[in-house]
Amino acid sequence: MTATDTTTMSTAQIDAERLRRKREVALGYRIFASLRWGDLGDGHITARDPEHTDCMWLLKYPVGFERATIDDLVLVRADGTTLDGRPINQTAHHIHHPIHAANNDVIGVAHTHTPWGTPFCASGRGLEPITQEACQFYGRWAFFDDEEVQVLGVEGGRRIAQAMGTNQAMLLRSHGLLTTGTSVAETIAAFVTLERVAEAHMKVPNAEPISEVSARIARDDLLGKHSQELAFQFLVQRHVGDPSVVG
């Protein structure tokens, strides 16, 4: 699956795609809030703008995740400045912008600190196909083995992007989980799934992985059915309810 091609879109179609991406970002923040993630403002979700592709949409700072709306999203330029001057969490720019810049297929990026993902990343372990959900990331994850947990500039983000390559999931050592996607919906569902996978690894440290062949079959079947984007719809229903609350 590849990112939405906007090169042949009309202005109206671009505007509609921009609104869709922004709505999914706002809903993603609400989902994270419902799961009790980001209570300290520790996390960020971004979406590449479909027209100004070196810019990304991000929640202004400080706004609680549970209150996120489309109107609270700010367009962030490549240099970290915002179109309308509203403040943002600069760490989001440091981490997310280089990832967007490194891979044109990346539409969404998500990162926050979670109860299972952060300690799992501190363990130094990698992902293994020990559950059905873990198979979605088989051969599609990377480990950022770096002590810069306080990412103070885009150089740190560039190292993360280089380590990530074209993988969807990243384990940031002693920091937490990060996911990308060819849509924001895919990104959010992948992040929630990855947290569940980290939980399984922490609860069953000596689990027996399934074979490579079986893991690949499960992965290809799940991704072929667009399971991540479908999962996003279930997450919205369960954790947000009426999607119009975000505007």
Tens digits of per-residue pLDDT, 28-83? 999 999 999 999 999 999 999 999 999 999 999 999 999 999 999 999 999 999 98
**What mean pLDDT comes out for the span 100-115?**
97
**What mean pLDDT comes out for the span 101-113?**
97
User: How far, in Å, CA of 9 to CA of 85, rounded?
Assistant: 29
> Which residue has tokens 């042949």?
8
Q: Is the predicted pLDDT of residue 1 greater than 80, yes or no? A: no
**CB-based contacts of 79, cutoff 8 Å, min separation 6:** none
pLDDT tens digit sequence for 193-220: 999 999 999 999 999 999 999 999 999 9
What is the rounded radius of gyration, in angstroms, for the C-alpha atoms of the chain?
Answer: 17
Please state, in angstroms and as integers, the Cα–Cα distance from residue 12 to each residue in 15, 17, 172, following that order.
5, 9, 39
**CB-based contacts of 113, cutoff 8 Å, min separation 6:** 37, 38, 40, 42, 43, 175, 176
Cβ count near 185 (within 10 Å)? 27
Task: Please state the domain extents for the chain.
Answer: 11-240
Tell me if residue 175 falls in helix, strand or coil: coil
What is the predicted pLDDT for the residue at 2? Answer: 54
> Which residue has tokens 């810049």?
101
Residue type, 23: R
What is the predicted pLDDT for the residue at 175? Answer: 94
Positions of E strands within the chain: 43-48, 56-59, 73-76, 108-112, 141-144, 169-172, 176-181
User: How far, in Å, CA of 87 to CA of 67, rounded?
Assistant: 16
Residues 11-240, CATH architecture: 3-Layer(aba) Sandwich (3.40)
pLDDT tens digit sequence for 116-127: 999 999 999 999
Are 154 and 91 contacting, i.e. CB atoms less than 8 angstroms apart?
A: no
Q: Which token pair is 27?
A: 């809903």
Average pLDDT value for the chain? 95
In angstroms, how far is the first alpha carbon of the chain from the final one? 28
Report the DSSP pairing between strands 169-172 and 176-181.
antiparallel
